[in-house]
Structure 1
Amino acid sequence: MMDLPRRNFIKQTGLLTGGLWLPGALADVLGAPAPARRIKIGVIGCGDRGTGLLKILQDLPDRFEVVALCDELPFRLQNAQKTGAAGHAKSYADYHALLDARAVEAVIIAVPLNLHFQVAKDALAAGKQVYLEKTMTYDIPQALELVRLAQQRPAQTLQVGHQYRYSPLYYRVKEMIKQGYLGKVTQIDCRWDRNGSWRRPVPEPGLERKINWRMYREYSGGLAAELLSHQMDFINWAFETHADEVFGTGGIDFYKDGRETYDNVQVMVRYAKEGMVGNFGATCGNARDGYLFKLKGTKGTISLLVDQGMYYPEQETIKQYGTVDGVTGATKITWNKDGGIAITTGAEPLKDGSWYSLRDFHQAIVERKMPDSNVVTGARAACTVHMANQAIYNHTIEKWRAEYNLA
């Protein structure tokens, strides 16, 4: 029979009881009726990410109607038109023409990173609601300027595609941190690894840079921007903080194929106010760890995948709350062989994070509310990514500056 302290520990953590707070957007996921108004939306950029978001929109037919698609490469437009959500959408080769279309109320911007700022600036000037893929901008000056432009237009939404801010799992982890279940967090270990070149097929040599833009520094922030930015943004959000010092290194260590962005990077971030060190790494040469995210505190550790999480209490925490000796019917808690407790989010299986994110984009527009992943938080993450790349490529220690503090 489980002793009372352990029962209280399980009950208070809310790991399986669903007792942790969820924001309105996620509470809405659990059963509120869908809003009546559909937003007419256009997608600018129909590569892998833009087409992927089109497929997500297909699962939100009561909230969005796709009325326009844009890409300068005809074969990408044709591919996007095949998705169920875009069957009656008008196609454009020039995004300016799409922005001039009065039927378009909102846009998803999924173009190469170096174009994010200009397309978002033009979309705001055209009066559109904006969902801008991460990383928000290519560099820090663009991030600061986009904040200024967006704040001049309070009636328009600018949401940034850091979709983990909308996952019920990551909301729950954020609340666990806030409520002290990890104690004092000192170390964060993050990886996003893969074993592959990251290249896309090119139908003709002249399209190499347009299709494989992620390989070239003129267009791309590399692995830090495309992958590690998600985890960097989550730390900013969960701890209400920002990077103070950034160290980094990397190289083109395997794919000697003419690319300019590194295929192997490691970034270390010092969060001075919190007394934390964050380690962020990515390689294209080994997929064993894949996505790995660990937060280590004096009372426990949280280990996260994209859609799964485990809580591992420290030995002193276990002693404080009672023994951990298997499964009890009273709590329906399973302690796995490593001494961990699964972090759950309710009866329904988790959806793709972008589903929650786009759902909240709709709600932000209709209710005229600030999205969780907004222009200010997007700028904070973009500043961190740019600092990381400066450290990686220039062998410098980058420091946070007062002008990056936005509100």
Structure 2
Amino acid sequence: MQRKKFLTTSAGLIAGAALGPAALLAPSDRLNIAAIGINGMGWADLTGALKDPSVRCVALCDVDRNVLDKRAASLAATGKVDTYGDYRKILDRKDIDAVIIGTPDHWHCLIMTDACAAGKDVYVEKPAGNSIVECAAMVGARDRYHRIVQVGQWQRSQKHFADAVAFVRTGRLGKIRLVKAWAYQGWMHSIPKQPDGAAPPGVDYTQWLGPAETRPFNPNRFHFNFRWFWDYAGGLMTDWGVHLLDYALLGMDAGDPKSIMASGGKFAYPDDAAETPDTLTTVYEYEGFNIQWEHAVGIDGGPYNRNHGIAFIGNNGTLVLDRQGWEVIPEHDQKTPRMDAVALQSVVDNGVDLHTANFLEAVRTRNGAALKAPIEAGAHVATVAQMGNIAYKTGKKLFWDTTNRRFTDEAANRYLAAAYHNGYTIPKYFS
């Protein structure tokens, strides 16, 4: 799979769009959906989808009965909602058209590929996969089963993000030599170490672990904070990184990097419970420009006085973009600006609601090409983010072999696939 094809129309997109007549749903038909993993973004995504009056949630799944009962009670007025602790029981139901997946990252690939095989369309939270091989498998499953698959990179549905990319592509910034993307997260603090113990009542911890290595239950590795442990996720690199690097790649129409290098560590909180680096700089080399990722925990003082963003740095000026809006800051020759400034263009819409609506419309029309964040786009940026983590883990400058989908360094290639345990095997749906 070529990374250019992840970003533009591809054979996969065509496959997603060219579904047979038997799969067509009339626009007036009610869509029955289910949500799997509903503690955080899965619930936000479901809430967005239910703003469409023709959508009905008929089932919920979560391994934490406490979360499951709370969410089911919230939907009691909408009609009968069945609850499950095992996602496979949802996939067995013929009356469910689509599923939302909001589980921890290490479950995304398995549930999404199983859902496609079961004939369901899928809205899967970011990052798409928890390894480079998983990302490829997810694209392959969509292609094999001809499903509609959207990744929860909701910024792609917001007007100001699209407008910013359109401006970048006008060429008015001049030659762009560097794109910076960053997440400085001052609200994140040290995670104190806690002893192992029993899982809370109502939690099916074995099911929560799934393909991850079996370990005693620890509250730091559970709700939300699972992001900072390699067994389940990739830290800020894959959490915020896939949102922000996505727009760096999109603006530059960037495919595979030629090389990747990363440096960082646990500089802020060296002795806390987290495993992933709290400070990291990653540089991706492309032909004629670089993309740079930065993240830092516990501080907000990011570039351009923004705690997150993307900056397209050109010879004539710099476009700075974040979730609040975008602006252009001109370069000057002495006192003469090389281009006109653009004042802040503020956010005007709700990205999650627009993104779920985009998914539902694609499900109804069977038009995969209409998706704002199809699986190949989500897989591309997740792959690039994983490359950054692999460069960090190896401590080397890595070179990517696009033809063979491998690094030239064999020691780095052992990180291409996530390790699966407990009898689970990684899906092999390669295009």
For residue 241 of structure 2, give the secondary structure of its aligned residue in structure 1: helix
Report the Cα distance in structure 2 between the residues aligned to 1:198 and 1:161, rounded to whole angstroms.
Answer: 27
From 186, 194, 203, the counterpart of 2:177: 186
> Could you list the per-position Cα deviations for residues 369-396 of structure 1 after superposition, in whole angstroms to 9, with x for gaps in the alignment?
2223112222211210111100112212
CA deviations on 1:162-191 (whole Å, 9 max, x unpaired) are: 222111111111111222122211111222
Distance of 1:126 and 1:268 partners within structure 2: 40
Aligned to 1:113: 105
CA distance in 2 between counterparts of 1:318 and 1:100 reads 68
Report the equivalent of 1:49.
41
Counterpart in the other structure of 1:396: 396
Could you give the per-residue CA deviations for residues 280-310 of structure 1, whole angstroms, max 9, x where no partner exists?
1112121233213211112221111203111
Greater RCO, 1 or 2 (C-alpha within 8 Å, sep 6+): 2
Could you tell me which residue of structure 2 aligns to residue 379 of structure 1? 379
Matched-pair contact (CA < 8 Å) for 1:147–1:379: yes
The one of 13, 32, 40 equivalent to 1:40 is 32
Q: What is the distance in 1 between the residues matched to 2:52 and 2:259?
A: 44
SS in 1 for 2:145: coil
Shift of 1:318: 9.7
- 1:213 alignment partner, one of 226, 231, 253: 226
1:258 aligns with 2:273: yes
Q: Deviations over 1:194-234 (max 9, x none)?
A: 12238699985835233232121111111111111111111
Task: Please identify, of 384-393 and 229-238, the stretch whose mean Cα deviation from structure 2 is larger.
Answer: 229-238
Checking the alignment, whether the CA contact within 8 Å between 1:249 and 1:395 is kept in structure 2 is yes
For residues 321-350 of structure 1, the C-alpha deviation after alignment (integer angstroms, 9 at most, x for no partner) is 99x7xxxxxxxxxxxxxx542336xxxx62
- Does residue 342 (structure 1) correspond to residue 336 (structure 2)? The answer is no
The aligned amino acid for 1:224 is: M
SS of corresponding position for 1:193: strand
Aligned 1:51-70 pairs, distance under 5 A? 51-58=43-50, 60-70=51-61
Query: Secondary structure at 1:191's aligned position in 2?
Result: strand
* DSSP-derived class of the 1:400 partner: strand
Identify the range of structure 1 (290-299 vs 205-214) with the bigger mean alpha-carbon deviation. 205-214
SS of 1:206's equivalent?
A: coil
Q: How many equivalent pairs are there?
A: 350
Match of 1:80 among 63, 71, 94: 71
1:189 maps to a residue whose letter is K
2:285 aligns with: 270
Distance 1:93 1:82, change over 3 A: same
Aligned residue identity for 2:137: E
How far did 1:278 drift?
1.6
Q: 2:180, 2:248 within 8 Å by CA — same for their partners in 1? A: no
Change (3 A) 1:141 1:222: same
1:92-150 deviations in Å (ceiling 9; x for gaps): 11100111122211111111111111111110011000111111101111111222221
- Map of 2:332 onto structure 1: 315
1:144 aligned partner: 136
Q: Which stretch shows the higher mean deviation, 127-136 or 304-313?
A: 304-313
Deviation at 1:76, TM superposition (A): 1.6
TM-score (norm 1): 0.78
Evaluate the alpha carbon distance shift between residue 127 and residue 342 of structure 1 in structure 2; reply closer, same or farther with a 3 A threshold: same
Q: CA deviation at 1:257?
A: 2.4
Q: 1-side partners of 2:77 and 2:244: how far apart?
A: 31
User: Unpaired runs of 5+ in structure 2?
Assistant: 1-26, 201-215, 407-429
Letter of the 2:349 counterpart: K
Q: Secondary structure at the match of 1:363?
A: helix
Is residue 99 of structure 1 aligned with residue 113 of structure 2? no
2:119 to 105, 124, 127: 127
- Supply the AA of the counterpart residue of 2:217: G
Deviations 1:33-92 (A, max 9, x none): xx644422111111222122233234x233532221111011121332354598542211
User: Corresponding residue for 2:253?
Assistant: 240
Q: CA 1:310–1:38 in 2, change beyond 3 Å: closer, same or farther?
A: farther
How far apart, CA to CA, are the structure 2 residues paired with 1:104 and 1:158? 15
Partner of 2:355: 357
Q: Which amino acid aligns with 1:292?
A: G
CA separation of 1:83/1:394 partners in 2, compared to 1, >3 Å: closer, same or farther?
Answer: farther
**1:244-294: CA deviation from partner (whole Å, max 9, x where unpaired):** 22111221223322221222222111122xx11222111212123321321
Amino acid at match of 1:99: L
Q: In the aligned structure 1, how far is the partner of 2:77 from the partner of 2:393? A: 40
Q: 2:94, 2:191 → 1: CA distance?
A: 37
* 1:169 counterpart SS class: helix
**Does the CA contact (< 8 Å) of 1:299 and 1:317 recur in 2?**
no
C-alpha change, 1:70 and 1:52, in structure 2 (3 Å) is same
Do the aligned partners of residues 382 and 86 (structure 1) sit closer, same or farther apart at CA in structure 2, a change above 3 Å counting?
farther
Name the CA distance, whole Å, in 2 between partners of 1:386 and 1:246: 11
